Amino acid sequence: MTEITENKPKNKVKLHREIWLILVVLTIALICSLVWRITHREPAAWAVVTVEGEETARYPLSEDQSQVIHGYNGGTNTLVIRLGEAWITDASCPDHICEKQGKISRSGQTITCLPNRVMIEIQGGEEQVIDGVVQ
């Protein structure tokens, strides 16, 4: 019993040191992530819209928006950009393949609508490449 009472204040004093260790490490971690964020800003990514091979518009992926694209022969596609991803929600063409192509967000990915001759390509921003694997 006496041992416990003797140990208690000693333990308390030392616990403070561990809290300092935790705080110091967390601070370093925070500073590292902040420095990383400031120095390595993600390159701006754009959804580039081309109709019949000619670029008609480009929208930043960083802004949530919805745009109607006027394609060949009066056809329209609705492009939605949300949370850094772009996809087509509505198309005037009969087969709606572009709607099924899913969401694109990385450089080089495309969505195409053949009947309207519309192509949406992501330019800039994160590449699809993995730069290394570590075990």
Task: Record the tokens describing residue 25, joined without a space.
Answer: 């490490």
Tell me, what DSSP letter sits at residue 74? G
Decide: helix, strand or coil at residue 26: helix
Residues that bind another protein (CB under 8 A): 11, 14-15, 17-18, 21-22, 25-26, 28-30, 32-33, 36, 40, 131-132, 134-135
CB-CB contact of 64 with 108 (8 Å): no
Nearer to another protein, 2 or 135 (CB): 135
Minimum separation from the CB atom of position 27 to another protein (A): 10
Nearer to another protein, 40 or 53 (CB): 40
Task: Record the tokens describing residue 133, joined without a space.
Answer: 């694997």
Minimum separation from the CB atom of position 6 to another protein (A): 15
